[in-house]
Amino acid sequence: DTAVSQTPKYLVTQMGNDKSIKCEQNLGHDTMYWYKQDSKKFLKIMFSYNNKELIINETVPNRFSPKSPDKAHLNLHINSLELGDSAVYFCASSPLAAGRMEQYFGPGTRLTVT
């Protein structure tokens, strides 16, 4: 009965590789997000999708490409990985309703680029 799930939990890869992280939510929410948390725990939004449509893209390099096959899934594909991409990536979802802006987070994917 996990609300927001991500796979994999850990990802170790070499520079230059391409990798994907998957996210699924079973909360019936319309909006999903990707966040990056750096080594100092700072959380920054990367993307937001509403009903499969991209609505926020926060100056993220175009090596990062989100894809939403349906409103319950939001995947993140990263091309040509760089050392600076090492971080924890969180997926989140939120209902799109008046007074309901809270977001529910997945457990995170720790990406290590060597």
CB–CB of 103/4 below 8 Å? Answer: no
Tell the smallest beta-carbon distance from residue 98 to another protein (Å).
10
Closer Cβ to another protein, 42 or 70, answer by number: 42
* 43 near another protein, judged by CB under 8 A: yes
Sole binder of another protein in the list 11, 24, 25, 31 (CB under 8 A): 31
Closer Cβ to another protein, 6 or 75, answer by number: 6
CB–CB of 26/78 below 8 Å? Answer: no
* 69 near another protein, judged by CB under 8 A: no
CB–CB of 49/31 below 8 Å? Answer: yes
- The token duo for 8 is 């994999």
Closer Cβ to another protein, 7 or 107, answer by number: 107
* 96 near another protein, judged by CB under 8 A: yes
Tell the residue number behind the tokens 């920054």, with chain if given. Answer: 44
Q: Which residues contact 69 (CB under 8 A, 6 or more apart)?
A: 52, 75
